[in-house]
Chains A and B, each alone.
Chain A
Amino acid sequence: MKKLISLMLVVLMVMTLALGCAKTTNTDGNSTQSNAGEGTENTSETLKHADLNINFLTFVPEPADLKLVEDEINKITEAKINVTVHLKPYSVATYRDQMKLQLVSNEKVDLLLTGNLGIFDLYINQVANGLLYPMNDLLSKYGQGIVQALGDTYAYAGSMEGKTYGVPQNRDLAQGWCFLADKGMADKYGIKATELKTFDKDFFDNMFKTIKENESKVYPFFPGETPATLVDNLNRVDPLDNYFGVLENLGMGDTKVVDFYETQEYRDLVTLAKEWADKGYIYSEAATTEQTPYELLSAGRIFGFFSTWKPGIEGQSSRRAGKDLIAITFDEPWSFSGKVTNFMWSIAHNCEAPEQAMRMLNLMYTDKDIMNLLAWGIEDKHYVKVAGKDNVITYPEGVNSQNSGYNLQTSWMFGNEMLCYVWEGDPDNLRSAMDEFNKNARKSKALGFTFDTTNVSTEIASLTNVQSQYKRMLENGFVDNVDKTLNEFISKLKQAGIDKVVTEKQKQLDAWLSSK
């Protein structure tokens, strides 16, 4: 009897707690909605003061002078839109978990960096889980600067079922293709930076052969930015988020979704990978290593690696590798959803002042001072203008990358990069070159389409498992028999339901195309 009573007590306690939780979540949901309503009524009058947390990630430890920069930004934002911002940088290693926890537990997040990259809890998942604030109305009312800077196609590229929950930065919004090679070694064998019209297999064959024959300790190439595979860097399809159902010809031909892994193109690419692996051209542990090509380059283990191309990449990669690199580019630049939506700014679902958040975001795309503060810090303290040049900056005397109080070096992250100064070492015209690159890029017909996985989540889960089993081995050529393994891969994908995903994707794509 006593046992029963205590058991009941426990159950009761759990129940009350559960109900308590439910109540708080419910009221929170209501309050955001009602706040949004009030907000729109208030806008014509004086702006209400708002505190906004701005969450972003860094690749370096938290800057020492963060507070100083924050204060400078607040001088501008308090005067212009009555907003006080709090900069919240998180290390790239913890950003995903931090954001997930804070969003789920209803903490104050406001503005956050997100996107469809693995370092985030993917944007599409956050939308599916209801963690982001729909911003179409806000964009048209308070975010016109953003739309003007990006153009409609790019600004609404994150739309799902007609609603958008994030805007991409005005950065590199397209990609080319290239092979980045160690300049010192290239010079030795007369290999020069070249612009190839298309991917020329013989050209690379000859180059890799030269290296293989003359440099016994160096592997001719690494497949790409870890864990990207050779096929990732050489294919000509629009992956439509996840390669489960793709558009051929970079999405510029017809809009029939096909299973990438069954195409002749895929078979040819994995056969090529196998050929190069057998010849010993590809770094022998490329399928399992966690090392980056930059580490391998600076250790002198590889000659070069395949990568995507954008203006200024030679300089940036050289700085990362600590070695001069040259780029052999092939094919014209091209843009697709995945590239545009891999980094975006979003407003959190529980933001109490969404319209002020949008105003702040708008400033990040239109206000040169704010952008340069966020990107580079305070003038004369963290950077100085190079003498005789208006838009090129460098470290002040006595300051370097080690002792600078604000040295994020990620100007592309904060909004409109075209407003940022150029760091010394990059081409002076980098910003205008980038703008042109974005505007002139060929575009996939599915640019702006984002696949909603909700209806096929079981299949996606199974497919992801199959994909991770075969992808890195097969696409880097580390299999005994390509045809046998590929056929096995295809049949396993079938079993995991790829056809259902392709059909669903086609349905969503057709609906999206007709609504455009």
Chain B
Amino acid sequence: MGNNMERNNIALPKKKNSMARYMPFFFMALPGLIYLIINNYLPMFGLIMAFKKVNFSLGILASPWCGLSNFKFLFATSDAWIATRNSILYNLFFIIANNFCGIFVAILLNEIKSKFFTKVYQNVFLLPYLISTVIISYIVYAFLSGDTGYINNTLLKGEGVSWYTEPKYWPIIISLVNIWRQTGYHSIIYFSSIIGIDSSLFEAATLDGASKWQQIKNITLPSLKPTIITLVLLALGRIFYSDFGLFYQVPMDSGALYPTTNVLDTFVYRSLMKLGNVGMASAAGFYQAVVGFCLVLLSNALIRKIDKENALF
């Protein structure tokens, strides 16, 4: 996009003209910009709370500074490191799995000729994404409950597993639940990109005798590259955040599962629920945001090095 703009600028004779030409677009963007400033930029002022011992009767600005002490609890124990490790590993896996499954389903959807069934499948895939996590946690519970769960009572008759006290199964359970939830959402994004591919490409390929697999490999996937890169970059920026419900509600906050289900968000929640310390909470948010920001910059730089066309900025 940046390249296009430059080209246009060069082509235009006078700068004044270009401003006038773009004015309507600026106006169109105005509501969005205002929203962005109010919602995303103004609260950044609150980041200074991460460095303060907040006392509301003094006000935020007058509260005393306390250096980096609010950040200490994020690095103080091995639990904090385990939570950080879990966040990163889960998110890396989710990025790969969600995009892979999304593309896979999107390609399949594209091959369905009946419009009616395409819509049916889309909706069926999207449904889990729209269900509240609390309800999902009880669906999972219906499967895994020790006493009355489906799996223990039918599949593993006799030798039940105490699912909620065995941490080793949970990386798989969590991943499955996440894929089940996210596939529909990702497939819609990819499906819309696939629809946008110039159909003459496929026609030409068919004429040349390319098989379905060759068409997917040589046309569909390369055309999806910009979408994939955008989605992956966005996901990388949130690598230190995780779906709180997925890691707190779904394992039923069971202490025995912490080694494999504690992520940064749940760790911070559990640490601060008795303290209610605003400074430490801000510190956690600051840490997550800064790391995410750096990751986006780094990975974008990397992409720019390899393939300039596809870099986000």
Residues of chain A having any CB pair with chain B under 8 Å: 10, 13-14, 17-18, 21-22, 25-26, 28-29, 32, 100, 103-104, 118, 121-122, 125, 128-131, 242, 284-285, 287-288, 349-350, 453-454, 457-462, 464-466, 468-473, 478-479, 492, 495-497
Indicate if the CB atoms of B277 and A125 lie closer than 8 Å. yes
How many Å lie between the Cα of A146 and that of B219 in the bound state? 81
Contacts of B53 in A (CB 8 A): 454
Which chain B residue has the least Cβ–Cβ distance from A106?
B56
Could you tell me the distance in whole angstroms from the C-beta of B282 to the nearest C-beta in chain A? Answer: 13
How many Å lie between the Cα of A158 and that of B303 in the bound state? 59
Contacts of B272 in A (CB 8 A): 461, 464
Q: Known A457-B277, A460-B274, A470-B255; judge A465-B79 contact (CB<8 A).
A: yes
Contacts of B37 in A (CB 8 A): 10, 13
Indicate if the CB atoms of B57 and A349 lie closer than 8 Å. yes
**Residue of B54, B69, B256, B274 with most chain A CB atoms under a 10 A cut-off:** B274
Contacts of B270 in A (CB 8 A): 464-465, 468
From the candidates B147, B253, B275, name the one contacting A460 in the complex (CB within 8 A): B275
Chain B interface category by residue count: 35 or more
B110 at interface by CB-CB < 8 Å: no
From the candidates A349, A472, A497, name the one contacting B56 in the complex (CB within 8 A): A349
Contacts of B56 in A (CB 8 A): 103-104, 129-131, 349
B61 at interface by CB-CB < 8 Å: yes
Complex A-B: 11 CB contacts under 8 Å: A28-B59, A129-B55, A130-B58, A284-B147, A288-B164, A349-B56, A461-B272, A462-B80, A464-B275, A465-B271, A469-B255
From the candidates A18, A26, A457, A471, name the one contacting B45 in the complex (CB within 8 A): A18
How many Å lie between the Cα of A128 and that of B37 in the bound state? 32
How many Å lie between the Cα of A104 and that of B49 in the bound state? 13
Contacts of B57 in A (CB 8 A): 29, 32, 130-131, 349-350
Contacts of B274 in A (CB 8 A): 122, 242, 460, 464
Indicate if the CB atoms of A462 and B79 lie closer than 8 Å. yes
Q: State the main secondary structure of chain A at its contact with B.
A: helix
Which chain A residue has the least Cβ–Cβ distance from B272?
A461
**Residue of A122, A461, A462 with most chain B CB atoms under a 10 A cut-off:** A461
Q: Known A22-B59, A25-B60, A496-B77; judge A288-B252 contact (CB<8 A).
A: yes
Indicate if the CB atoms of A285 and B267 lie closer than 8 Å. no
Contacts of A118 in B (CB 8 A): 273
Could you tell me the distance in whole angstroms from the C-beta of B300 to the nearest C-beta in chain A? Answer: 18
B158 at interface by CB-CB < 8 Å: no
Q: Known A14-B41, A497-B76; judge A472-B275 contact (CB<8 A).
A: no
Indicate if the CB atoms of B60 and A21 lie closer than 8 Å. yes
B278 at interface by CB-CB < 8 Å: yes
Indicate if the CB atoms of A461 and B58 lie closer than 8 Å. no
B131 at interface by CB-CB < 8 Å: no
How many Å lie between the Cα of A448 and that of B254 in the bound state? 34
Indicate if the CB atoms of A461 and B275 lie closer than 8 Å. yes
Q: Which chain B residues in 158-199 approach chain A with CB under 8 Å? A: 164-165
From the candidates B45, B79, B165, B280, name the one contacting A466 in the complex (CB within 8 A): B79
Q: Known A28-B59, A129-B56; judge A492-B276 contact (CB<8 A).
A: no
Indicate if the CB atoms of A462 and B271 lie closer than 8 Å. yes
Q: Known A458-B69, A458-B72; judge A125-B275 contact (CB<8 A).
A: yes
How many Å lie between the Cα of A10 and that of B36 in the bound state? 12
Contacts of A242 in B (CB 8 A): 274
Could you tell me the distance in whole angstroms from the C-beta of A293 to the nearest C-beta in chain B? Answer: 17
Could you tell me the distance in whole angstroms from the C-beta of B92 to the nearest C-beta in chain A? Answer: 24
Could you tell me the distance in whole angstroms from the C-beta of B201 to the nearest C-beta in chain A? Answer: 38
Indicate if the CB atoms of B255 and A472 lie closer than 8 Å. yes
Contacts of B42 in A (CB 8 A): 14, 17
How many Å lie between the Cα of A260 and that of B194 in the bound state? 62
Could you tell me the distance in whole angstroms from the C-beta of B45 to the nearest C-beta in chain A? Answer: 5
How many Å lie between the Cα of A169 and that of B37 in the bound state? 46
Indicate if the CB atoms of A14 and B45 lie closer than 8 Å. yes
How many Å lie between the Cα of A14 and that of B146 in the bound state? 54
Could you tell me the distance in whole angstroms from the C-beta of B37 to the nearest C-beta in chain A? Answer: 7
How many Å lie between the Cα of A490 and that of B273 in the bound state? 21
Contacts of B147 in A (CB 8 A): 284-285
B240 at interface by CB-CB < 8 Å: no
How many Å lie between the Cα of A23 and that of B72 in the bound state? 31
Contacts of A472 in B (CB 8 A): 254-255
Indicate if the CB atoms of A10 and B41 lie closer than 8 Å. yes
How many Å lie between the Cα of A492 and that of B77 in the bound state? 8
B78 at interface by CB-CB < 8 Å: yes
**Residue of A25, A118, A460, A465 with most chain B CB atoms under a 10 A cut-off:** A465
Indicate if the CB atoms of A462 and B41 lie closer than 8 Å. no
Could you tell me the distance in whole angstroms from the C-beta of B254 to the nearest C-beta in chain A? Answer: 5
Indicate if the CB atoms of B44 and A496 lie closer than 8 Å. no
Indicate if the CB atoms of A469 and B258 lie closer than 8 Å. yes
Contacts of A121 in B (CB 8 A): 276
Which chain A residue has the least Cβ–Cβ distance from B251?
A288
Which chain A residue has the least Cβ–Cβ distance from B54?
A129
Indicate if the CB atoms of B73 and A461 lie closer than 8 Å. yes
Indicate if the CB atoms of A462 and B275 lie closer than 8 Å. no
B153 at interface by CB-CB < 8 Å: no
Could you tell me the distance in whole angstroms from the C-beta of A496 to the nearest C-beta in chain B? Answer: 5
Contacts of A22 in B (CB 8 A): 59-62
How many Å lie between the Cα of A28 and that of B61 in the bound state? 13
Indicate if the CB atoms of A18 and B61 lie closer than 8 Å. yes
Which 10 residue pairs are nearest across A and B when measured between Cβ atoms? A25-B59, A130-B57, A461-B271, A22-B61, A125-B276, A130-B55, A461-B73, A458-B72, A469-B255, A288-B252
